[in-house]
Structure 1
Amino acid sequence: MSVTKDQPNVIVFFTDQQRMDTTGVHGNPLGLTPHFDRIAREGTHLYNTFTCQPVCGPARSCLQTGMYATTTGCYRNEIPLPPDRRTLAHYFNEAGYQTGYIGKWHLAEHEPVPPEERGGYDYWLAANLLELSSDAYSTVLYDNACNEVKLPGYRVDAQTDAAIRYIDRHQEQPFFLFLSYIEPHHQNHTDNYPAPDGYEDMFTDRWTPPDLKALGGSHAQHLGGYYGMVKRLDEALGRLLDALKSLDLTENTIILFTSDHGNHFKTRNGEYKRTAHDSSIRIPAALYGPGFMQGGQIREMVSLLDFTPTLLDAAGIQVPAEMQGHSLMPLVQRAPTQWPDEIFLQISESQVGRAIRTKRWKYSVTAPSLDGWNAPSSTHYVETMLYDLQADPYELTNLAGIESYREIADELKLRLITRMIEAGEEAPIIDSAEPRSAGQRRVSIEELRLKL
């Protein structure tokens, strides 16, 4: 396929474990993200964006391929992406783009990652497990020849410097750059959130999201450092935008900003994600650049899986029929489209779980007899969660089993089974939660008539 300089460059600015409410456009009052807030306002803000798998490796497999984790086979961490799975890099390579990957990969079997495990990317400056190969002020990546490269500065800045160098060297031909940060993920071996020096103190005990305030967890220890990492990421986004402007590339470069999953700070289980709660699955997202300017705020439910076909579509590359996500371009262009009314979620490692999330309801099931590490799916589940997000946006009261909500749960059960079948799974049996009463909690006739 021939290419021209008029084809848009594409950059994915990918953070790790970032809650959507770290951003100003989602109500955070601390001014952490002025650059993200600007591209969301000037470009297209995807207000209701959710991961399709709240753990690192599986989420990355979904974004790289446009397929569910059970389809790629990477349903949990430590399963490498099969070599026959085509990624964003393959499609952009075939369209004549230069492709580059900088940062955390988490889809390989070896470290350093050999060429055959790099998902087709031409330029490589990455580590499979960046959280293990590096620390906040000790950034170690590996180049195309598998040589260790230690970059100076705080880790976010070191990766951003490398990205700016890549952009500067690849101006003459359209490029696709996937810039994958580890921040604001915790540093595994110390279980803390190492912000740049001085940044943690700036944000400690400043503002706590209502779910964390109600449930506790580890936020008192970790939130200041977490916010400091988010602040530095946003400053990195600003530097990247400045670099594009100085090279006259702004008007011809698409930027996707998003994350792999959120962070519930040990409020829902013994770690930070792997549950169906919004704190674990809802993520910030915006698209900026040609085709997305003045796109406004899109309120439809968007999955991480939808970004793969969207980036191809926006670059004029045909979207493969086997992709299980949907291009967002009809929504951005306000064209008539039948968009899904819910998000479908697969959960692994902590459980074998499935869930759907509509604008009002959250419904989740688990396979009680299976281990989430060893089993990718099940044919038998039990209801575990039902939340009314209109009355309970922070998911503090689980309605599963309450008799007056049985009709709603049954409708959501059918919708979940439909989505599981569409994702390539076998239709399961889902046992209802043990019935219980709950005093004044009732569902009105008017509510039952409304679309869920």
Structure 2
Amino acid sequence: MTEFSALNRRRAERPSMPPVIVFLTDQQRWDATGIGGNPVELTPNLDHAARSGTWFDNAHTPQPLCTPARSCLQTGNFATTNGVHRNGLNLATDADTLAKRFGAAGYRTGYLGKWHLADPGSKGPVRPEQRGGYDDWLAANALEHTSDSYSTRLYDNDGEPVDLPGYRIDALTDAAIRYLVDHQHEPFLLFLSFLEPHHQNRRDDYPAPEVYRDRYHGSWLPPDLASLHGTTFQQIGGYYGMIKRMDEAYGRLLDALRSLGLYDETITVFSSDHGCHFKTRNSEYKRSVHDGSTRVPLMIRGPRVPRGRVVEDVVSTVGLPATLYELAGIDAPVGIQPSLVPAMHSAERPAGEAFIQVSESETARAIRTQRWKYGIQAPDADPKDAGSDHYVERYLYDLEADPYELNNLVGLPSHRELSDHLRDRLLAWMKTAGEPEPVIDNAVTSQQGRGQLDVQPHEISM
């Protein structure tokens, strides 16, 4: 039997069990991609792949922080629902995860890279019961604390250390390609989780490969970073260099699928856990309700995914697990957040909403619609708390007039009716996430108005 006939037989035997790869970056903004509007030519492989898949142009993380964002991606539930609302918490051992559902459906499941859902501050191997149910394991809990750009240490199924050669992105990609080769003849779910372009914590820098270290300094900047500065000017070169290498790794992975005859039958997701605002909104890189923190790249390609489609609806990546279950023909757990598949096929005008929870830097909540961003903050809460019973309006942005959120309209009398409408929508989302209904105080402002600013009735629901 020839190689091609063997391949065709394999496809015929499992047409409803497509391989699945989740390619997850860390702390990557949506506009650090060509298809997301960046003109620096950082992501030609992603941009090319998107033309044969679906790009979500307005995707948002439900929690702009590593551990809670990852808990949402493994469970399909908001962080306050799955119990992991901040860093330093571990995912429950009985959580109904991607790995458990795919495994029960006959898939081989593998996890590679950064986990960050186990014991707080773990610098050793993650215990088997805290690995989310994955069959094959080559990972570290907080990869930023156990490795560096040219020193990658992970831990295998037996908890033994494995040191991988090369730049960290390349080391993980090499291991991922080996996994594809080893499991090419069976249905598999591979969750490939990089640290880049996250900063290296102990130095607070963005260590790009040496070949890219100086290439991107002085490059184009998104307007929020150009206006608010933060640490952008000293760090954007390294950040862009890491993203360039990440895109090359993504291209290598797709080439491996092509060589194995798996490219067209594999569901591939490219996304990130949260964005990066370079200390422009607080003293950190994320943990805020702004798009710089929450808006992320999201591309899906493969069987049953529209080709060359750009979805402009506002969506949340908390819907990714349900999406993968639907595309793979697997029953989803009851009560998780809904699939993004309907948005892929919708011919209606862009719509949708994203609910955002924030912890650690502040206890905050926000709703993001096509037109508006409305956010509240709990002034008396411990930022480590899951929530609060008392919030104050803190943010209101008109994203049509001010897409980079540089003009906070909160408290303006001209926008009071709009704020009341958005508050009701936000309260509905908080109830969906299992939060008790809080008191939300109106913003106190000395601004009596700004010239001719006004909101027409038909704009309130946009």
Which category of TM-score, normalised to the shorter sequence, fits these structures?
over 0.9
CA positional deviation for 1:200: 2.2
Instruction: Name the residue aligned to 1:376.
Output: 386
| Matching of residue 403 in structure 1 with residue 413 in structure 2 | yes
Alignment partner, residue 217 of structure 1: 230
Instruction: Tell me which residue corresponds to 2:422.
Output: 412
Query: 1:404, CA displacement in angstroms?
Result: 1.1
Shift in Å at residue 439 of structure 1? Answer: 2.8
Distance 2:305 2:374 in 1: 32
**Cα shift at 1:260:** 0.4
Match of 2:69 in 1: 59
Alpha-carbon RMSD across the aligned residues, in angstroms, is 1.6
C-alpha deviation, 1:291, in angstroms: 1.2
Q: Which residue of 2 aligns with 1:276?
A: 289
Secondary structure of 1:198's aligned partner:
helix
1:195 and 2:170 are equivalent in the alignment: no
Post-superposition Cα deviations, 1:120-179, rounded to whole Å, max 9, x if no partner, equal: 000000000000000000000000011110000000000000000000000111000000
Report if aligned partners of 1:295, 1:333 keep a CA contact under 8 Å in 2.
Answer: no
Moved more, 243-252 or 289-298: 289-298
SS at match of 2:179: helix
Kept in 1: contact 2:96–2:333 (CA 8 A) = no
Give 1:342 shift. 1.2
Are the aligned partners of 2:107 and 2:186 in contact in 1 as well (CA < 8 Å)?
Answer: yes
CA distance in structure 2 between the aligned counterparts of 1:329 and 1:136, rounded to whole angstroms: 36
CA distance in 2 between partners of 1:70 and 1:394 (Å): 28
Match of 2:454 in 1: 443
Q: Which residue of 1 aligns with 2:345?
A: 333
Write the distance in 2 (CA, Å) between the matches of 1:53 and 1:117. Answer: 21
Contact 2:50 2:308 in 1 (8 A): no
Match of 1:258 in 2: 271
Q: Aligned residue pairs: how many?
A: 446
Deviation, structure 1 residue 408: 0.8
Matched with 1:358 is 369
Corresponding residue for residue 5 of structure 1? 14
Identity of aligned residues (%): 54
Residues 46/196 of structure 1: CA separation in 2 closer, same or farther (3 Å cut): same
**Residues 39 and 287 in structure 1, CA contact (< 8 A), matched pair in contact too:** no
Q: What does residue range 158-197 of structure 1 map to in structure 2 within 5 Å?
A: 158-197=171-210
AA at the equivalent of 1:439 = R
Distance 1:4 1:393 in 2: 49
Cα deviation for residue 295 of structure 1 reads: 5.2
2:247 corresponds to 1:237: no
Match of 1:346 in 2: 357
Aligned to 2:24: 14
Amino acid of the structure 2 residue aligned with 1:366? Q
Counterparts of 1:311 and 1:188, CA distance in 2:
32
For 1:279 and 1:195, locate their aligned partners in 2 and report how far apart those are by CA, in whole Å: 21
Residue number among 34, 45, 54 corresponding to 1:35 in the alignment: 45
Task: Tell me, yes or no, if the aligned pair for 2:74 and 2:98 is still in contact at 8 Å.
Answer: yes
* Distance of aligned partners of 1:243 and 1:449 in 2 relative to their CA distance in 1, 3 Å threshold: closer
Name 2:136's counterpart in structure 1.
123
Q: Give 1:411's aligned amino acid.
A: H
**Partner SS, residue 296 of structure 2:** coil
**Contact kept? 1:404, 1:441, Cα under 8 Å:** no
Change (3 A) 1:334 1:406: closer
Give the whole-Å Cα distance in 2 for the aligned partners of 1:356 and 1:178: 29
What's the offset of the Cα at 1:448?
5.1
The alignment's TM-score, normalised by the length of structure 1, stands at 0.96
Which structure 2 segments of 5+ residues have no match? Answer: 1-11
Which runs of structure 2 are paired with 1:38-117 in the superposition (5 Å)?
A: 38-109=48-119, 110=122, 111-117=124-130
Native 8 Å contact 2:290 2:405 kept in 1? yes
2:217 pairs, out of 189, 204, 209, with: 204
- Cα distance per residue 1:396-415 (max 9 Å; x no partner): 11111111111111111111
Amino acid corresponding to residue 248 of structure 1 in structure 2: G
**Structure 1 unpaired stretches of 5+:** none
